[in-house]
Amino acid sequence: MTGQPPHQPEEKKSYRIDAVARALRVLEALGDSPGIGVTALAERLGLTKSIVFRLLQTLEEDGYVQRDEERAIFSLGYKVAMLGERVGREGALQHVARPVMDVLRDETGENVNLVIREGTATVAISTREGLHSIRLFAQTGRRGPLHAGGASMLLLAFAEPSIRERVLEGPLERFSPHTITDPDRLRDALVLILANRYNVAINDLDDGAFSIAAPIQNGAGEVIAGLSIAGASVRLDEVRRATYIEKVVAAAQEISDLLT
């Protein structure tokens, strides 16, 4: 038997970016000790003052660190607070919505989406895939416009006036022959959504698909998300339309009640 060198396990490739890791350590240190100077921070982290200063400068420019010019000390900036608030808000929303979305999907067999607004776009933060053999592509993280789609137009209708006007004044991209690209028609559609407190969109974003959405409110009565049922438009007869509207409105209200 010839001697063979023992098998060496393949070394796992690291994708770590040291500069990012150092920046995160700076943020953590500022969280533990707000109002600290460059020298003290460098000593705590075991880094040179030059590196720490450059990291602080970069983080300050992007709003993650704030500097007290008079005392030459640093603290966490407003962007960190915004991220923390968003994680808490969306985390609670997804936690509360999860079982309600499951029931809604099981009762309808259609895709169920939880959608929020980010500026003049929307993001699906949670989805439940439909049970039908012919179903739509649904993916968490999918971004969309505000002027087309069930939950998107719903969120546009309930957005502050400045957001609505920005969308109405900007170019309205056509996604299908049924997309509303005339500002006056879109304005009228938004008024109707506000009056109904739900939205039915058919073939306007994805040709051959429908979406029925209702608003989710927080304890202050602000619309923070849209809950939608989506599926192939060939399945949406009058009976299903009425049933789906009733179910999605009730489900959105249940989530809103749980958030208060």
- Going by pLDDT thresholds of 50, 70 and 90, the confidence category of residue 1 is very low
Average pLDDT score over the chain: 90
CATH T-level assignment (fold) for domain 85-259: Beta-Lactamase (3.30.450)
Contact 231, 111 (CB under 8 A): yes
Q: Render pLDDT for 108-148 as a digit per residue (tens, 0 to 9).
A: 999 999 999 988 999 998 999 998 765 565 677 888 999 99
Q: Is 41 exposed, middle or buried (0-12, 13-18, 19+ CB in 10 A)?
A: buried
Q: Which amino acid is residue 58, in one-letter code?
A: T
The larger pLDDT score, comparing residue 218 to residue 245, is at: 245
End-to-end CA, the chain: 74
Cite the beta strand spans of 99-242 per DSSP E: 111-118, 121-128, 143-145, 199-202, 209-217, 223-232
The answer to whether 30 and 65 are in contact (CB under 8 A) is yes
| pLDDT of 9 strictly over 70 | no
CATH of the domain spanning 18-76, picked from 3.40.190.10, 1.10.10.10, 2.40.70.10, 1.20.1440.230: 1.10.10.10
Domain ranges in the chain are 18-76, 85-259
